[in-house]
Structure 1
Amino acid sequence: MIFLTRKAEFSSAHYYWNDAWSLEENERIFGKCANRNGHGHNYTLEVTVAGEVDPTSGFVVDLKQLKDILEQEVVSVYDHRHLNLEVPEFAKAIPTTENIAIAVWNRLENKIPNAKLHRVRIYEMPDLFADYYGEQS
């Protein structure tokens, strides 16, 4: 078993807000991130897959195919979008770093041929990231 990681980047806006809370509670918990106009980040996505090395190609996965899957399933959907307003999975979920990692996992699970999705890591900033390993962890 070997692990291979591919990176992608996208820029998105979001805000943190819980409709069940008052304005004061949202501002207390989320601070300036509760501003309903939103703010943006340049996200870095790392997707790690696990599998066996193909003896013919020397690859775990077709690298171009993996790049194309990340582009189609994540980057083209999230890039230059307001996550709260334009991305369906965040209509009811707060687009925190943690929830973005879970959403990306759900978009990619079972879509990468010949490899198992092992980890999704989302960097919101260079010093803030979330890892998700699926339900098995």
Structure 2
Amino acid sequence: MGNRVAVYRKEHFNAAHRLHNPDWDDAQNFAVFGKCSLPNYHGHNYNMEVKVVGEPDPSTGYVIDMKVLSDIIHREVIDRFDHRNLNLDTAEFKHLNPTAENIVVVIYNLLRPHIDPTHELQVRLYETERNFVEFPA
């Protein structure tokens, strides 16, 4: 195995959501999700780190061109989710509860087809300064 290097790109987006299971009544939703289940939504300033691991290309010295990575993230994630209500404005969460866990998996799946398949990809999503998720774990 050669010289594998991890490169990271930080990005952020702002979005509203409501944690809610439509099969439950309001009382059960509140018992499970607390204030996050209130019907008028709430928002987060999401921060994310995208990690790509691979061997630098001998011609460029890059694992991935960071400008290209930024463009992919903007096109696939930021343009889709920034300043949106995830429950109402996005196809990805019409029928999927937009928990941090589900959001990070969706982001990974949006990015994966655009990253060299020989490279590892990992996404870390910060919902708050103290709460974050990572996929794959």
RMSD over aligned CA atoms reads: 1.3
- Aligned partners of 1:12 and 1:80 also within 8 Å: yes
Match of 1:131 in 2: 134
1:8 maps to amino acid: E
4+ runs of 1 displaced by more than 4 Å?
none
Tell me the residue number matched to 2:113.
110
* 1:17-71 deviation per Cα after TM superposition (whole angstroms, max 9, x unaligned): 0011111100111111111210111001111111111122221001111000000
Query: Do residues 37 (structure 1) and 40 (structure 2) align?
Result: yes
The answer to whether the 8 A contact 2:112-2:121 is kept is no
Match of 1:89 among 89, 92, 97: 92
Distance 1:88 1:117 in 2: 26
Count residues in correspondence.
134
Q: 1:23 aligns with which of 22, 26, 39?
A: 26
Aligned residues of 1:48 and 1:120 also touching (Cα < 8 A):
yes
> What TM-score results when the alignment is normalised by the length of structure 1?
0.93
- 2:15, 2:118 → 1: CA distance? 28
Compute the TM-score of the two structures, normalised by the length of structure 2.
Answer: 0.93
Q: Is the 8 A contact 1:109 1:117 kept in 2?
A: no
Distance in structure 2 (CA, Å) of the matches to 1:43 and 1:126: 9
Distance in 2 of aligned mates of 1:114 and 1:54? 14
Going from structure 1 to structure 2, the CA distance change for 1:64 and 1:97 (only over 3 Å counts) comes to same
Counterpart of 1:72 in structure 2 is 75
Q: State the percentage of identical aligned residues.
A: 41
Aligned-partner SS, 1:104: helix
Distance of aligned partners of 1:114 and 1:94 in 2 relative to their CA distance in 1, 3 Å threshold: closer
Are 1:120 and 2:130 counterparts? no
Q: Which runs of 5 or more residues in structure 1 are unaligned?
A: none
Aligned counterpart in structure 1 of residue 15 of structure 2, from 9, 12, 27:
12
Report deviation, 1:113: 3.8
Determine if the alignment matches structure 1 residue 62 to structure 2 residue 87.
no
Q: Aligned partners of 1:114, 1:101: CA distance in 2, in Å?
A: 19
Task: State the Cα deviation string for residues 100-122 of structure 1 (Å, max 9, x = none).
Answer: 00000110112124752421110
Unaligned runs of at least 5 residues, structure 2: none
2:118 and 2:11 map into 1 onto residues whose CA distance is 18
